[in-house]
DNA sequence: CATATTTTTGCAGGAAATTGCAAGAATATG
DNA sequence: CATATTCTTGCAATTTCCTGCAAAAATATG
């Protein structure tokens, strides 16, 4: 049996059963569970399903589209967010980029905090709607369903007119030479404007994103004032510190 | 049974029952109460519910105001929304006002529908994010926490540049002489621009709002092309029909 | 056609996650 | 304040996952 036939079978079964199990598939397809595991691995990589312990579930109809990602490196992200809190003071205007790191940050906002937050992220806006002291401004534009942020010209135009105290940047790759990069052209353009509209830029980055690069450039690495990461070890941080960037 | 299935079950039960108990879930899912407790823990961490002693309650990302209102006249609103569906055709660009009537409408969108929807309403945008064929454009601006819509100058500017086929107007009071009115100045201004930016304006109004007025004027009643209501009886509809408005 | 290289597959082991249980702490209730 | 629930913590049993490895199959190369 061809590997593609197995893929086909798995996806079809997933569509009818809304889940697949290693044990079942191993039996149905007459291959070992390891092979099934590997099959699910590649299907997951192509975004065709979501691997979970014991099998896989479909991508769309489950309510975890955004919340799944929040689980990855959850502790790291909370640690990063906690460090970031100390930069916030009453009365500031903050640009809050989309992404799970920034989402973790707004979840930690103490109730007494008084801020104006500008964001293209719908989950962040929803989270902050319940906060009594935060004025929320959502940038307009077309919604990217996968990342749940607005993007495009309208978003950029709203950000351009802004003067913020701090911009917290989320999911990006950092590289000392390549700079700050992202996986999507439009979002990279939006991030670029965010950087320009803020007096101070703070990147929230899990350590696995440091030293990596993606196709679309956001800005030079020197545009960052501070990088907050989960593991600010000397080895990882030194190259950035040499450029005058505060790494914590 | 996969852990994710349990999550799914819990969230679904929470949605219908408005609460879940450790004891019940343990029995329903055939796992120990400890496992239920741990499941609720992770769901709570992801903001999908709130743990309380003995079980959990919904997190209600929408403040009560919105959730409650959606239930008032629910049947009426669904009836109105069903009538409104016939005005929608593939390829159209639609302005969708905030409010529970319009929210009921987007919930009825058939999956095959291909539209571009421009809206200031966050619940509507979230609902449509799960729709495969709808392009969602959110107008930017300051968020009104009570009604969960964006408002203000930025919102107006985005709408001004638009040319839509249809505008569906939500919560408003209608009066043959006073016209269309609303309870908030900023929102009224936004609605006014919506009316001007669409070729055709359709009001979704429960019958109890007809013949009433509120402080801030949106537009003249003749700006409406069609009024969809739950009870298009002759007595109520006649004055509007005399003005050339289609009432159904 | 023979040989080298890559890909796929199954297996073994140790690592990691999940689950249920028990004992003591915390909290609600009358 | 006494009692009953519920919650937390630690632990052990089980299941599942990952890594490296070797055999078999497929593909490429001379």
Distances (CA, A) of A24 to A47, A228, B6, B8, B44: 22, 44, 19, 21, 31
Residues of chain B with C-beta less than 8 angstroms from the C-beta of A52: 2-4
Cross-chain Cβ contact B136/A130 below 8 Å: no
Specify the pLDDT at position A75.
63
Strand C nucleotides, any atom under 7 Å from protein beta carbons: they are 8-12, 17-22, 27-28
Q: For a pLDDT cut of 70, what percent of chain A falls above it?
A: 92
For residue A72, pLDDT beyond 60: no
DSSP letter assigned to residue B209? G
- Cα dihedral value A41, A43, A49, A51, nearest 10: -10
User: What is the overall mean pLDDT for chain A?
Assistant: 85
Task: For A69, name the nearest residue in chain B, comparing CA atoms only.
Answer: B46
Of A198-212, B58-72, B76-90, B225-239, the one with minimum mean pLDDT is: B58-72
CB B111 within 8 A of CB B132: yes
State how far the Cα of A149 lies from the Cα of A151, in Å rounded to an integer: 6
CB atoms closer than 10 angstroms to residue B91: 8
pLDDT in the model for residue B66? 45
Please name the residue that has the structure tokens 């307009």. A140
pLDDT winner (highest mean) among A135-139, B1-5, B60-64, B182-186: A135-139
Give the residue-averaged pLDDT of B139-145: 91
What is the tens place of the pLDDT at every residue in B25-55?
888 888 898 999 999 988 888 777 888 888 8
Contact check, Cβ <8 Å, A141/B142: no
CB contact under 8 A, A136 and B143: yes
| Residues of chain A contacting B155 with CB distance shorter than 8 Å | 140
Indicate if the pLDDT at residue A143 is higher than 80. Answer: yes
C26 C1' – B8 CA distance, angstroms? 30
Q: What's the gap between Cα B8 and its chain centre?
A: 24
Q: Which residues 35-54 of A have a C-beta within 8 angstroms of B?
A: 52-54
- How high is the pLDDT of residue B5? 86
Cβ–Cβ contact B61 with A under 8 A:
yes
Burial A218-238 (b: 16+ CB within 10 A, else e): bbebebbbbbbbbebeeeebe
A135 contact B CB<8A: yes
Check CB contact of A33 with chain B, cutoff 8 Å.
Answer: no
Q: Does any CB of chain B come closer than 8 Å to the CB of residue A94? A: no
Nearest nucleotide over every DNA/RNA strand to the A33 CA, judged by C1' = C10
At a CB cut-off of 8 Å and minimum separation 6, what does A103 contact? A70, A121, A123, A124, A127, A170
A34-61: average pLDDT:
83
Angle between helices B64-71 and B100-107 (to 10 degrees): 70
Q: How far apart are CA B155 and CA B138, in angstroms?
A: 9
Q: What is the mean pLDDT of residues B194-205?
A: 94
Q: What is the mean pLDDT of residues B204-229?
A: 90
Question: Residue B116's closest CA among B78, B77, B150, B166?
Answer: B166
Substitution target in A126, A153, A162 with the highest count of B β-carbons within 10 Å is A126
Residue scoring higher pLDDT (A238 or B219): B219
The number of helix segments (H) and strand segments (E) in chain B equals: 10, 15
Asked whether B146 and B62 are in contact (CB, 8 A), the reply is no
pLDDT at A60: 53
Give the pLDDT of residue B72.
60
Residue B11 has pLDDT above 90, yes or no: no
The tens digit of pLDDT for each residue in A155-180 reads 999 999 999 999 999 877 888 888 99
* Predicted local distance difference test score (pLDDT) of residue B60: 55
Residues whose CB falls within 7 A of nucleic chain C?
A 3, 6, 30-32, 34-35, 38, 53; B 3, 6, 30-32, 34-35, 38-39, 53
User: Region A210-233: what's the mean pLDDT?
Assistant: 86
Question: In chain B, what are the domains?
Answer: 3-58 (1.10.10), 67-247 (3.40.50.1360)
- How much is the pLDDT for B63? 39
Interface contact flag, A138 B143, Cβ < 8 Å? yes
Nearest CA of chain A to the CA of B61: how many Å? 7
- Looking at the complex, does the CB of residue B11 fall below 8 Å from at least one CB of chain A? yes
């Amino acid at each position: 049996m061809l590997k593609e036939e197995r893929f086909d079978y798995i996806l079809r079964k997933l569509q009818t059963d809304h889940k697949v199990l290693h044990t079942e598939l191993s039996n149905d397809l007459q291959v070992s569970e390891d092979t099934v595991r590997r099959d699910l691995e590649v299907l997951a990589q192509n975004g065709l399903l979501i691997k979970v312990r014991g099998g896989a579930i479909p991508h769309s109809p489950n309510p975890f589209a955004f919340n799944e990602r929040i689980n990855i490196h959850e502790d790291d992200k909370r640690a990063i967010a906690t460090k970031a809190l100390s930069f916030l003071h009453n009365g500031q205007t903050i640009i809050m980029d989309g992404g799970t790191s920034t989402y973790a940050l707004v979840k930690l906002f103490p109730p007494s905090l008084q801020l104006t937050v500008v964001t293209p992220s719908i989950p962040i806006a929803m989270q902050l709607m319940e906060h009594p002291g935060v004025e929320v401004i959502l940038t307009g534009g077309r919604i990217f369903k996968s990342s749940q942020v607005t993007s495009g010209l309208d978003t950029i135009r709203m950000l351009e007119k802004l003067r913020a105290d701090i911009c917290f940047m989320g999911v990006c790759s950092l590289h000392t030479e390549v700079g700050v990069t992202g996986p999507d052209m439009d979002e990279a353009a939006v991030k670029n404007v965010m950087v320009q509209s803020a007096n101070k830029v703070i990147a929230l980055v899990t350590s696995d994103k440091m030293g990596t690069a993606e196709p679309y450039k956001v800005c030079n690495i020197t545009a960052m004032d501070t990088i907050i990461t989960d593991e600010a070890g000397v080895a990882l941080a030194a190259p950035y510190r040499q450029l005058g960037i505060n790494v914590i």
